Amino acid sequence: MFLTYKYLLLPTKRQRQELDSICEEQRQLYNGALQERNWVYEKTKKSLTLYDQCKSLTEWRNVDQEASKLPSTLQRWTLRRLDNAFKAFMKGAKKDPERWGKPRYRSAKRWHSFGFSEFSGITLRDKRIKFKGLSSSIRVNFHRELPKGAEIKSCVFTKIANHWYVAFQIKVDIPEKLQSIKNAIGIDVGLNNFVFASDGSSIPNPRFARKAEKKIAEYNRRLARCKKGSNRRKKVKLQLAKAHLDVKNARRTFLHQWSRALVDNYDLICHEDLEVANMAKSNMAKSIYDAGWSTLFQFIAYKAEGAGKHVRVVDPRFTSQECPGCGVRRRKSLADRIHKCESCGLEMDRDHAAAQVILSRGVVTPGHAAGNVGLEIPN
């Protein structure tokens, strides 16, 4: 199983300039290689292969010192990126030649990354990263550890809102045998609580975005007052992008921690099928939280897979009406916060009851789909 772990880089001013110029050089390499491909394609209607271009790269590196001041794995990543774009074009052009355009030359505005096609020519030691072409090693903000024994396969450096990040693609062994189920938990997602678990724990709707939301609103107001094309506008735009990024990162960190705790503590995790749930619970102001829930479920899915734990996705219908004690259904209005069963007398928090229903559905229907496991952490 492959996973992506992304970290903020903490470069010095000089290193920042170096990263920027490496990125720019790779853009030029991409455009140059694209020009070569286009030329051959016009002449022969055949595409150069990645192999062809890597061979030219080696020849170029042999004769030009400029070319060999960066690791070849770094340049090969750029060529592979072009290869992927060209392959997509060739495939599309076969199907529908009218609609598929050739890969485009990249302007500096549309080029923000470079990478290593394999993890060689680059080292990661003592939370610092180094490769040929940098004057010194760059500090990495390791806000979470890489999994133990992880093998790094490749990595990508990306500039977002004026910050540089590195994303490691790592290979993780999946336990061949699933853990036996000794305990299980059901989780209910909702608007009153972000999630409520069958063990009684809950997360209120996260407030992490509040402060950042105020900032975002403020920057939006400022932006509206700026003259188009002014330096000030550029600056405010960058601040706005940064604020959006802060919200996203805070949310992801929070969801990572919570899903990790769930997978560490439980062998079986049951939750509702969100797609079906959304159809059932339309017209609610739920869209705001949708992204958070599906991200949470994706995090749970891949963490569970890595740990050999089980995930079951259950039918969400009537989970909030059914009594976890006796199974009798009774309509509740949204205002009813307490589940009160007239048949068996059970009385408990409404969301807690729903979480228990979800748990019991997951436990008794082992044949149900074990969730669609995305192998890559979505960004």
Please name which of 159, 59, 56 lies closest in space to residue 113, comparing C-alpha atoms.
159
Choose the stretch contacting Zn ion; rule: CB under 5 A; options: 33-41, 203-211, 219-227, 334-342. Answer: 334-342
Nearer to Zn ion, 269 or 341 (CB): 341
Q: What is the DSSP letter of 56?
A: H
Instruction: Locate 361 and state its tokens.
Output: 């559905």
CA dist., res. 131 & res. 152, Å (int): 15
- DSSP of 117-140, one letter per residue? SSS-SEEEETTEEEETT-SSPEEE
Identity of residue 56? S
Nearer to Zn ion, 296 or 341 (CB): 341
Q: How far is the CB of 268 from Zn ion (least distance, A)?
A: 24
| Residue 263 near residue 300, CB atoms below 8 Å | yes
Q: How far is the CB of 315 from Zn ion (least distance, A)?
A: 19
**Site for Zn ion contains 353 (CB under 5 A):** no
Q: How far is the CB of 341 from Zn ion (least distance, A)?
A: 3
Nearer to Zn ion, 181 or 344 (CB): 344
Contacts of 230 (CB under 8 A, 6+ apart): none
**Site for Zn ion contains 326 (CB under 5 A):** yes
Instruction: Locate 295 and state its tokens.
Output: 């991200």
**Site for Zn ion contains 341 (CB under 5 A):** yes
| Residue 282 near residue 377, CB atoms below 8 Å | no
Please name which of 244, 243, 219, 217 lies closest in space to residue 232, comparing C-alpha atoms.
219
Choose the stretch contacting Zn ion; rule: CB under 5 A; options: 155-163, 193-201, 303-311, 333-341. Answer: 333-341
Give the binding-site size for Zn ion (rule: CB under 5 A). 7
- DSSP of 328-371, one letter per residue? -B----TT--EEE-TTT--EEEHHHHHHHHHHHHHHH-TTS---
**Site for Zn ion contains 375 (CB under 5 A):** no
Choose the stretch contacting Zn ion; rule: CB under 5 A; options: 146-154, 201-209, 340-348, 369-377. Answer: 340-348
First and final C-alpha spacing in the chain: 17
Among 206, 325, 363, 370, binds Zn ion (CB under 5 A): 325
Nearer to Zn ion, 76 or 350 (CB): 350
Q: How far is the CB of 312 from Zn ion (least distance, A)?
A: 23
Instruction: Locate 169 and state its tokens.
Output: 């693609």
Choose the stretch contacting Zn ion; rule: CB under 5 A; options: 31-39, 48-56, 142-150, 326-334. Answer: 326-334
Nearer to Zn ion, 270 or 341 (CB): 341
Contacts of 47 (CB under 8 A, 6+ apart): 37, 40, 41, 86, 90
Nearer to Zn ion, 64 or 342 (CB): 342
Among 343, 365, 372, 379, binds Zn ion (CB under 5 A): 343
Nearer to Zn ion, 188 or 322 (CB): 322
Nearer to Zn ion, 267 or 322 (CB): 322
Identity of residue 27? R
Among 174, 344, 369, 375, binds Zn ion (CB under 5 A): 344
CB count, 10 Å around CB of 157? Answer: 23
Q: What is the DSSP letter of 47?
A: P
Q: How far is the CB of 277 from Zn ion (least distance, A)?
A: 23
Q: How far is the CB of 148 from Zn ion (least distance, A)?
A: 46
CB count, 10 Å around CB of 52? Answer: 15
Nearer to Zn ion, 133 or 325 (CB): 325
**Site for Zn ion contains 9 (CB under 5 A):** no
Site residues for Zn ion per CB under 5 A: 323, 325-326, 341, 343-344, 346
